[in-house]
Structure 1
């Protein structure tokens, strides 16, 4: 039954005074908070807030019990008297998809988001209790600048196509230099693309006119093709804008033609992009490519931990964070390769520097060791070329170590002779691992089946990858061994669904988020991808394409992607907190860091992984014998 106004006020006064969060406020502010509350009573079975409404207000349960649940996935948690829900209290990830339904007769006090924001602005320490409140602006020296990180996230999701402002300005290559300059002046552009029929054959910029024509007093009646850049880098229209900015920074260029397949659709310039997206990760990558010494790279690499803090504060998805952090690792790797070639001279035979493990999957965090290798052209001769590539790979790997990417404990690096081989030898490695899947071979496949070319001749990897997929697709014996190996990493759930904490090692009573949570999902996705014969390396993308290929149901793939995102975000936030406190980042999470709500989600995530591990185990159980 509804309470009278007097009784409701008395109940709220008592609840605020005894609440572990609100009791930290001065008495005067508690009275003000009480005055701004609205009251609601509801019978059992009432939907208090439907999907999409949870972010509209903050609630405090005064009496009774209600349930927060996701009606689509079946996830649910129970809340009782004294517990908070809604804006601020419920993590942002669940605000749009969960709803609140009463389990008994209840009474709830509600506040608008503005009220909570005002309280947190005056008492910022309370923000630790409200994960989905945007923190108030603080001086830049005490708080990471979130704007740059947030705009970087937009770059991940924004297709280049949407940033093209006008149709491409083109001329035939036979046009005169003077006619080209006149067209650029009329259109107010800094570049013109040269088209021969339907083929893009060159690019002329205002810099070309200044440096090649004016400075050399060149005859302006000559064909413009004589001053054009012919070897062009291009980008696809559906690629993310972040990719375009990194490409511009990496190659020190300012203009990038945009193609849709083979059709020219426009031009992107550095100015176009940075006008809209002054993202610090892009400037960091650009600064990396400007460095001429290892000391300079070391200094810049120190910003990666701060970047992860910014991304965590901006509530970036783990998927976006992984791509952005990995892009910085890629930039450091490429610049170290360039510096090594400057020191040693050009490589004697074609090669490809290849990232393995989390870098290959675009899933790095600020705490990473290095996994890499070299694929050399089959013209490689150890006697003639071995010394060069030994020195070359050592310079790069030692440089990465100096920048904070420690040497792989298992020596799975290009500086190790075994992992610096010709394409022919690499093909033999993979053939042997697939045909004779012994324990060490299975361990190596977990590293080297996740590969991505970083610098050099990418065709060396692509042809090798296709050969490997031909031998793994449908190979039930090999896949059964992969499943058996993957099941060594189990989520830490006990017999009754409780989380089991580590009892040994340097971090007792914690959860290893990497090996107990994330690695099992990575292993499942790798097996699905190998069974489907798909070449992608990123775990999220592997799950999506594997579902399309029928290796896992769409619902199970979504569940695993959601579990991965949740676990990876916990890991990123945990590491960001450690970095902010001056501690070394690790993967060991104490349950005390989590709310009851997050603990419930953690159990759900582990349960999804456990269930799908069992499904895969049964599918391939006959293949091991």
Structure 2
């Protein structure tokens, strides 16, 4: 495709074909974003001067995007020179502009290739990860987890795997990193009352809804990511991570229904209708669910909270942190 407008038209025409299948929807998002990257590269008129990897992260990296998604992406390139730095700065800025033009809003947290924090040579990325781990502030520990969800869309996958290996090896030598990761994820929004009722939004445009991102998804996503960092698992989707973890006998009982519950959560999010903007993808109207669906959702949320608490407890106990 020649320009961003033609990609946007194609995207809007074809997205209706994948609205009922999370896997198909995420493959579609990948295809759209790769089309944007190709147009961005052509606009620069020169070929990339060295090997690189363009990655997406967040829900895109985990292959868990909804119908509407914002941008979360970065670049790792082979080595730093003035020419390379200038080229990938231009590419990062152009691809961020292009993604916004076709319908992926700019990330409010600036997790984009246009931001030098998320666009570096391999060596500088490696040093930045070490700096983040040694600093241990709440913000950079959050960045570390975001990076661990990175999935390469184009380029050298080994760059990302080697960088994730840096994180894995560091935590083996410095178990206090796991304590800081726990501190970053330990708070979970409780939406189930002691009497078993689901707490919904009481006012505003989301009245009668729950935010399933914070109430349901994050307990699964964060706890499974924590285990993956501990075990050196580099897969990015929560379901793939669960499958890899279940290959280890010690996690079989803990995760025996995790994959099933998470797949159902993805399907519940697909059921959200009238989505006009990114925030809408997180709010599920409980009144539109049947009695059995409400019971099932409540069970999934409870089990996610239980899994989250057990993983944190296990991590702190076995590492003595």
Structure-1-length-normalised TM-score = 0.48
Residue 29 of structure 2 corresponds to which residue in structure 1?
329
CA distance in 2, matches of 1:504, 1:474: 48
* Superposed CA offset, 1:66-89 (max 9, x none): xxxxxxxxxxxxxxxxxxxxxxxx
Which residue is equivalent to 1:363?
64
**Which residue in the other structure is 2:301 paired with?**
606
Q: 1:488 to 1:457 in 2, by over 3 A?
A: same
Deviation readout 1:238-290 (Å, 9 max, x if unpaired)? xxxxxxxxxxxxxxxxxxxxxxxxxxxxxxxxxxxxxxxxxxxxxxxxxxxxx
| 2:105 maps to 1:395 | no
Find out whether 1:295 has 2:5 as its counterpart: yes
**Higher RCO structure (Cα 8 Å, ≥6 apart):** 2
CA contact (8 A) 2:78 2:122 kept: yes
Structure-2 separation of matches of 1:511 and 1:442: 27
Query: What runs of 5+ residues in structure 2 fail to find an aligned partner?
Result: none
Query: Which of 253, 259, 282 is the equivalent residue of 1:561?
Result: 259
Change (3 A) 1:299 1:437: same
Q: C-alpha deviations, 1:20-75, integer Å up to 9, x for none?
A: xxxxxxxxxxxxxxxxxxxxxxxxxxxxxxxxxxxxxxxxxxxxxxxxxxxxxxxx
- CA drift of 1:412 comes to 0.4
Partners of 1:571 and 1:587 within 8 A in 2: yes
Give the Cα separation in 1 of the matches to 2:259 and 2:192.
19
1:548: which partner in 2?
A: 247
SS in 2 for 1:511: strand
- Structure 1 distance, partners of 2:159, 2:145, is 20
Provide the aligned C-alpha RMSD in A: 2.2
Residues 490 and 610, structure 1, Cα contact 8 Å, conserved in 2:
no
1:550 Cα deviation after fit:
4.3
Q: Does 1:353 align with 2:63?
A: no
- Residues 476/491 of structure 1: CA separation in 2 closer, same or farther (3 Å cut): farther
Determine if contact 1:360/1:537 at 8 Å carries over to the other structure.
yes
Instruction: Give the 3 Å change call, closer, same or farther, for CA 491–557 of structure 1 in structure 2.
Output: farther
1:513 and 2:212 correspond: yes
Q: What is the match of residue 341 of structure 1?
A: 41
How far 1:561 moved relative to its partner? Answer: 1.6
Residue 256 of structure 2 aligns to a residue in which SS? helix
Question: What does 1:208-357 align with in structure 2 at a 5 Å threshold?
Answer: 291-303=1-13, 305-309=15-19, 311=20, 321-344=21-44, 345-357=46-58
Matched, 1:572 2:270: yes
Would the aligned equivalents of 1:476 and 1:620 in 2 still touch at CA under 8 Å? Answer: no
Aligned to 1:439: 138
Whole-angstrom CA distance in 2 between matches of 1:422 and 1:551: 38
| Counterpart-to-counterpart distance in 2, 1:545 and 1:436 | 30
- Aligned-partner Cα distance in 2 for 1:307–1:514: 24
Residues 69 and 104 in structure 2, CA contact (< 8 A), matched pair in contact too: yes
CA contact (8 A) 1:304 1:366 kept: no
Deviation digits for residues 297-319 of structure 1 (CA, Å, limit 9, x no counterpart): 0101113541343x2xxxxxxxx
Aligned residues: 317
Q: How does 1:409-428 map to 2 (within 5 A)?
A: 409-428=108-127
- CA offsets 1:120-140 (integer angstroms, 9 cap, x no match): xxxxxxxxxxxxxxxxxxxxx
2:236 match: secondary structure: coil
Asked whether the 8 Å contact 2:57–2:72 carries over to 1, the reply is yes
Deviation at residue 399 of structure 1 after TM alignment: 0.9
Contact 1:474 1:531 in 2 (8 A): no
- 1:339 deviates by 2.1
Structure 1, gaps ≥5 residues long: 1-290, 312-320
2:219/2:307 contact within 8 Å kept: no
Contact 1:492 1:500 in 2 (8 A): yes
**SS of corresponding position for 1:453:** strand
SS in 2 for 1:365: coil
Q: Could you tell me whether the CA contact under 8 Å between 2:54 and 2:155 is conserved in 1? A: yes
Is the CA contact (8 Å cut-off) linking 2:213 and 2:282 kept in structure 1? yes
- Out of 287, 291, 316, the residue aligned to residue 592 of structure 1 is 287
In 2, distance between residues paired with 1:517 and 1:523?
A: 11
Distance 1:427 1:560, change over 3 A: same
Partners of 1:529 and 1:535 within 8 A in 2 = yes
The Cα of 1:368 is off from its aligned counterpart by 0.6
Give the number of the structure whose residues are more often helix, by fraction. Answer: 2
TM-score (norm 2): 0.90
- State the 4+ residue runs in structure 1 displaced beyond 6 angstroms: none
Answer with 401-410 or 441-450: which moved more.
441-450
Q: Larger deviation: 514-523 or 554-563?
A: 554-563
Contact persistence 2:58–2:72 (CA under 8 A): yes
Larger radius of gyration: 1
Distance across 2 between alignment mates of 1:374 and 1:523: 24
CA distance in 1 between counterparts of 2:237 and 2:172 reads 18
- Distance in 1, matches of 2:214 and 2:165, equals 29
SS at match of 1:302: helix
Structure 1 contact 370–405 (Cα < 8 Å) conserved: yes
Corresponding residue for 1:376?
Answer: 77
Contact 2:286 2:294 in 1 (8 A): yes
Aligned mates of 1:550, 1:427 — CA distance in 2: 32
CA–CA separation in structure 1 for the residues paired with 2:7 and 2:14: 12
Change (3 A) 1:522 1:367: same
